[in-house]
Amino acid sequence: MTSRAHYDLLDPLPVGACVVDANLCVVFWNSPLVDWTRKRPEQVLGKRLDELYPELFESRFLRRVSAVLAGAPPAFFSAQLHGSVIPILLPNGAARKSNTTVSLVKHARTEAPEALIVVEDVTNMMARIEAYEAMRVRANSELEERRKAEKRLHDLANELQRSNRELDDFASVVAHDLQAPIRHVMSWSEVLLDEYASTLNPAARKCLDHITRSAESMRRLVKDVLDYSRVTTRARASSGVSLSDVVDETERTLWPVLKESGGRIERDPLPVIKGDPTQLRQLILNLVGNGLKFRKPGVPPVVRVSTSRLDDPADEPAWQIEVSDNGIGFEPRHADQIFQMCRRLHSGSRYEGSGVGLAVCRRIVERHGGHIGADAVPDVGARFWIRWPLEPPDVNQAPRSDHPDRAQPRPRASTG
């Protein structure tokens, strides 16, 4: 068997394989190497490897191959550190990368030492690694951009929160401090009416009536603004609150209106829910009060309070609280506007109010992680629904406003 025939077994392998003798002359060159190097066997056989690739035969390669021929262990040349020891090309002429292993073999007949050079094309693998690396660099830079954007958003949200807090505090302070002068105006007007009525002519009395009514409107508005700001400045921790007790209390508070209008509050059995007790009372009072206020002329108002459990698996479990009435209702297209601050659908002369009550309701509900909405049919009635989480987020906040609600003494008429 000739050496060549002996090595023919290596021809169909999917790796490049060549054999050199002790003088580094090529004795075998397989088909993949023909394809990859574009050198046919007759161009390489009998030629020294360093004649074929002079640039490659630096001492480091030659020394290691010579050591193998002298009996040393196989030498391994990685694609990472060498690219490719024997230059091999892709069909488009670009360089392939390869791992090359040089092992000692024996000539089939003479047993003379020969070196088998196996070239494993790892171009695809290296390309995948490079693609991965590029992807990683891109992903890292995108991540960094995203982090920066999130930080900007976070800073903005903090800034917004701070600015909202300042506005709340400002509204709270202003509303609080306005109460005293309004009370003074009202008190002094009463003093005038009580003690100097006989000395006033009808026109002056009419002017005084206007002053008293306007002052009363202003007092109500200031109180509502204070209520609105206190939703955040006077928040209390959540605890179990009996809705049934809340409705009882609402009924007691609104008793004069119920009596005067012949109205009533209906209810289903109501659960105990978690929330800020004061705010829950205010929420129900505002909604029920609204139902009684916007009644149809000549029709006794009926306000119904009911609840149901919402157990949608895709959402947090919650209560649905509904407050519906048989009042004048409103156009459905106004359903969103009614929760805006100072937005009123009906004229102030027919229905008293500041337009703050429902804004307060929305603020309370949202602070508890819920949603509030409404629908209505004009002249049939309105229905308010609240999605109230079973476990509201921690809403315990210490009151931020450091000014106490100072009770202003009623002014006394100076008779001196």
Partner 1 sequence: MSLSADHRDALKELVNIGVGRAAAELNEMLASPIELSVPSVDVLTPDTFSRSFDESGGETVSLVQLPFEGAFTGRALLAFPSESATKLVCLLMGEDADTVTLDNVRAGTLTEVGNILLNSVMGSITNVLAAEVHYRVPSFYEDHKNRILSLERDPTNTTVMAARTTFCVRDLAIEGHIHLVFAVEAFDALLLAIDRASAAA
**How many angstroms separate the CA atoms of 349 and 183, rounded?**
23
Give the CA distances from residue 336 to residues 99, 143, 330, 331, 395, in Å, rounded to whole numbers and listed in that order: 70, 38, 11, 11, 25
Q: CB under 8 A: which stretch of 30-38, 67-75, 251-259, 316-324 binds partner 1?
A: 67-75
Question: Minimum distance between the CB of residue 368 and partner 1, rounded to whole angstroms?
Answer: 45
Q: Is 67 in the site for partner 1 (CB under 8 A)?
A: yes
Question: Minimum distance between the CB of residue 310 and partner 1, rounded to whole angstroms?
Answer: 46
**How many angstroms separate the CA atoms of 153 and 145, rounded?**
12
Give the CA distances from residue 38 to residues 90, 91, 167, in Å, rounded to whole numbers and listed in that order: 10, 10, 79
- Binding to partner 1 by CB under 8 A, coded x per residue (else -) over 187-226, reads ----------------------------------------
Q: Which 227-286 residues touch partner 1, going by CB under 8 A?
A: none
Give which of 3, 30, 37, 26 is closest to 16, Cα–Cα: 30
Q: Is 60 in the site for partner 1 (CB under 8 A)?
A: yes
Q: Is 71 in the site for partner 1 (CB under 8 A)?
A: yes
Position 59, amino acid = S
Question: Minimum distance between the CB of residue 95 and partner 1, rounded to whole angstroms?
Answer: 16
Edge-to-edge, what's the strand order for the sheet holding 16-20? 26-29, 16-20, 113-121, 98-106, 75-77
In a 3-state reduction of DSSP, which class is residue 286? helix
Taking CB under 8 A as the criterion, the residue among 1, 12, 42, 73 binding partner 1 is 73
Q: CB under 8 A: which stretch of 3-11, 63-71, 144-152, 264-272 binds partner 1?
A: 63-71
Taking CB under 8 A as the criterion, the residue among 19, 44, 79, 288 binding partner 1 is 79
Give which of 371, 407, 359, 373 is closest to 232, Cα–Cα: 359
Count of residues of this chain found to bind partner 1 when the rule CB under 8 A is applied: 27
- Residue 105 or 390: the one with the smaller Cβ distance to partner 1 is 105
Q: Which residues contact 321 (CB under 8 A, 6 or more apart)?
A: 243, 273, 305, 306, 307, 385, 386, 388
Give the CA distances from residue 410 to residues 11, 38, 407, in Å, rounded to whole numbers and listed in that order: 112, 108, 9
- Residue 132 or 170: the one with the smaller Cβ distance to partner 1 is 132
- Residue 139 or 237: the one with the smaller Cβ distance to partner 1 is 139
Total Cβ atoms within 10 A of residue 103:
14
- Binding to partner 1 by CB under 8 A, coded x per residue (else -) over 344-383, reads ----------------------------------------
Contacting positions for partner 1 (CB under 8 A): 59-60, 63-64, 67, 71-81, 99, 101, 103-104, 122, 125-126, 129, 132-133, 136
